[in-house]
Amino acid sequence: MAAGRSYPFGFVNQHNSSINSASSTNFAYGFGTSNSVIDDYNSLYRQVEGSSRQAFQSVESIVQAFTSVSMMLDSTFQALYSSFRAVVGVADNLSRLRSQLYSILSALAIMRTLKYIIRKILEVFRLRPKGHAAAAWQEASVGLLPQQSIFPADSKGLSSWPILMFFGIIVGAPWLIWKLISAKLPGWVTGDDDHYVSYGLYNFVAESNDELSFNAGQKIIIAPKDEQPRLKGWILASVDGKKIGLVPANYIKEPVRCTGRKNILVENTINPVPSRSFSCPTDSQENYGKTVSDKNMEDIFESCHSAPTVT
């Protein structure tokens, strides 16, 4: 024993057992905690939750889309119903105003008073039998016109125009908005204004909505120089004549300048017998350069600025 001390055998065993229990306790509160955290992290619940999170997000987006459509339909119905109630309210107020005017005229009975006086005079001169004037007063107690409702009670059936109007708004409103906000294609896309034409040199797959995909050898219509964006290495163009986007300059052949149909018409009007035509050359790829060198867009358009001569 340390320091030359002697302990009874029982005390030594008790001391060793206490040390072992303390060390095991420290291990439980030390390294045992990290093992429990790892086991909890790798639990089945967390694995299932992580693997199914994306699927549930997709389902949630679909549910939100249907909810948005349902809210749109409900808003349209409420607007249509409110408009209908407003129109009915105006018609009802006009009907009540008419009834009040008729009541006032009936209460005054000016015309019937004059009619009674005339009948009384006729009775005095024995031109009408007696009691004829009293009948005029009896008629004065009755209203001029019977009150009638603007909505007949014996309607044969329910009208279907609210349903037609509701679905007309649902279908027609989005279409009308789309027609109003849809922009007209520029003239260079349709060929009416000056433009450039090239062909794809390699296949290109768009990586964003601003880019256009095309294949090698596919015709590409390029916007004029003044409408090109200030993006080095990218050209504003159209592949199918409908959608406009960006294409890489090093993926197409050197473009050729083409004069639009409007300018050709003006040129032919000024010169009845033109010596040459400034229209675009034939679509054969032999008329186009092989590649576009890696330089600025200014140099690219300057290199193809002069219009080709076509006989």
Report domain extents, the chain.
42-130, 187-271+289-305
Whether residue 164 contacts residue 84, with contact meaning beta carbons closer than 8 Å, is answered with no
Residue 39, φ and ψ in degrees, nearest 5 = -65, -40
pLDDT digits (tens, 9 = 90+) for 215-260: 988 999 998 888 888 888 898 999 887 788 999 988 998 888 888 7
**Stretch 193-201: mean pLDDT:** 88
pLDDT of residue 237: 92
pLDDT of residue 35: 52
pLDDT of residue 183: 61
pLDDT of residue 9: 44
End-to-end CA separation in angstroms for the chain: 118
Separation of alpha carbons 71 and 57, rounded Å: 21
CA angle 84–87–91, rounded 5-degree value: 135
Q: Is 213 helix (H, G, I), strand (E, B) or coil?
A: coil
Q: What is the DSSP string of 173-210?
A: HHHHHHHHHPPPPPHHHHTSS-EEEEEBSS-B--SSTT
pTM of the predicted protein model: 0.38
Q: Is 152 helix (H, G, I), strand (E, B) or coil?
A: coil
pLDDT digits (tens, 9 = 90+) for 47-90: 667 777 777 888 888 999 999 988 988 888 898 888 888 888 88
Out of 33-37, 127-131, 306-310, least confident range? 306-310
Higher pLDDT, 58 or 180: 58
Q: Model confidence at 142, in pLDDT bands (50, 70, 90)? A: low
Whether residue 247 contacts residue 211, with contact meaning beta carbons closer than 8 Å, is answered with yes
Residue 136 has pLDDT above 80, yes or no: no
Separation of alpha carbons 278 and 274, rounded Å: 10
Please give the CATH number for the structural domain made up of 187-271+289-305. 2.30.30.40
